[in-house]
Amino acid sequence: MTTSSNILWIKHPLSHFTANNEDASNGIVIDQANGLIIELVAKNRTPITPIHQVFDARQHVLLPGLVNTHHHLYQTLTRALPAAINKSLFPWLKALYPIWAKLQPNMLSLATQVGLTELVLSGCTTVADHHYLFPDALYEAIDIQVNASAKVGCRVTLTRGSMSLGEKDGGLPPQQTVQTDQQILQDSARLIDTYHQSETGSMLNIALAPCSPFSVTTELMIETAKLARQHRVMLHTHLAETEDENNFCLEKFGLRPLDYLESVNWLASDVWLAHGIHFNDSEIQRLGQAKVGICHCPSSNMILASGICRTKELQQAGVKVGLGVDGSASNDGSNMMQEVRQALLINRLRYSADQVTHLDALYWATKGSAQVIGRDDIGELAVGKQADLALFKLDELRFSGSHDPLAALVLCGAHQADAVMCKGQWLVKEGKMLAGDLVELRQQHQQAAFNLCNEL
């Protein structure tokens, strides 16, 4: 039962975006005790709920907490690495795999904390991470990430990735980074049983995520899907990121990537795919019929020159479309608000200016992304939804002269939130994380990055 001492009114925002066309011109009311939005306050209205606390948002643009549907948090340790700069996907991976194979537990913990902290500061409250490297030292990688994410306080979907085809079997990764199918399936089941929270409002979800069709066996793809459906968890992988991948699948399986996906029972509504760039018209229709989700990763796709996702055609076909920053070695940042702007700009290269707007990009980063990872309790401002939100000020020089606050947030390049709340609890206030020592974290992370990249 709610009591007035827990009731907070986010009052009179400068502008707002609910992701559902509802009116919250005069703010939202939150029950911080149970972490829920309990009222939207329309224009010229006041709350009907007795209010105990007020957050004056007259200088803030109010958004749902952003949702990042694809990341590789460990990659924060290898940003702007000379060996990997100016390479396309496959050569980029070949340059980095030997370095990533030397990851140690403390390195992964620090990398996870840094990436999540960056994301939270950018207004992101939910993060899906795809970790697929399990050398001997990192057998308990997901356990390490569970503990690290708890220190930051945002929601996470930790995907138990996998690679079972090393170089000797025709795959890309070094042998020390791959595991047997049995090891992968046993650990996947353990992680679901130990950590997955299936209830509404959950802070930690587990999903299963073979790295890609060219890094695992066909049998593992099939068995992973069976295991995920047995436990009712989501499935995730990379697909159709580059033409090289399409050609690889044709050579190895005699199938295009989507045909291969269907052959292993992955063409379904409990699946979301990273990138999804190189689909033809008929494949887009099939994806829509199956209600698959696609995570659009604009910055990564630009850096690796992979191509431009066909977002509008995918949406029109019925595909769920969201956004992801991707790994910090193929983006070199973990900033979800910047990704919204990148999504708008790269789509303007494919579509006319009136076909893709700043509102589309914001939708992809909020409700669209929530749908992609199978959640209907986050990603929008509505009664009964989780109290996840981000508040941005427009007090930097870059915003001077702007007239539409919501458009300015995207067009003028907002990059840091002033306040961030997850499940009714403040994670950021006045632009600063409330938990942890960021100076110490950065120093430890930088040293770990140096140690990793200078051991070779």
pTM for the whole structure: 0.97
Question: Could you give the percent of the chain with pLDDT greater than 70?
Answer: 99
- The one-letter code for the residue type at 147 is N
pLDDT value at position 1?
Answer: 40
Q: d(Cα 442, Cα 310) in Å, to the nearest integer?
A: 37
Mean per-residue pLDDT, 253-263? 94
pLDDT value at position 3?
Answer: 47
Q: Which of 8-17, 91-100, 404-413 has the lowest mean pLDDT?
A: 91-100
Q: Are 391 and 439 contacting, i.e. CB atoms less than 8 angstroms apart?
A: no
Fold of 4-63+388-433: Urease, subunit C; domain 1 (2.30.40)
Q: d(Cα 270, Cα 267) in Å, to the nearest integer?
A: 9
Q: Which residues of 417-435 are buried (b: 16+ CB within 10 A; e: fewer)?
A: bbbbbbbbeebbeeeebee
pLDDT value at position 213?
Answer: 82
H or E stretch at 431: none
Environment class of residue 44 by beta-carbon count within 10 Å: exposed (0-12), middle (13-18) or buried (19+)?
Answer: exposed
Q: d(Cα 309, Cα 239) in Å, to the nearest integer?
A: 12
Report the mean per-residue pLDDT for the chain. 95
Q: What is the domain partition of the chain in residue ranges?
A: 4-63+388-433, 66-372
Structure letter (DSSP) for residue 124: E
Q: Is the pLDDT of residue 246 over 90?
A: no
Q: d(Cα 129, Cα 155) in Å, to the nearest integer?
A: 11
Domain 66-372: give its CATH architecture.
Alpha-Beta Barrel (3.20)
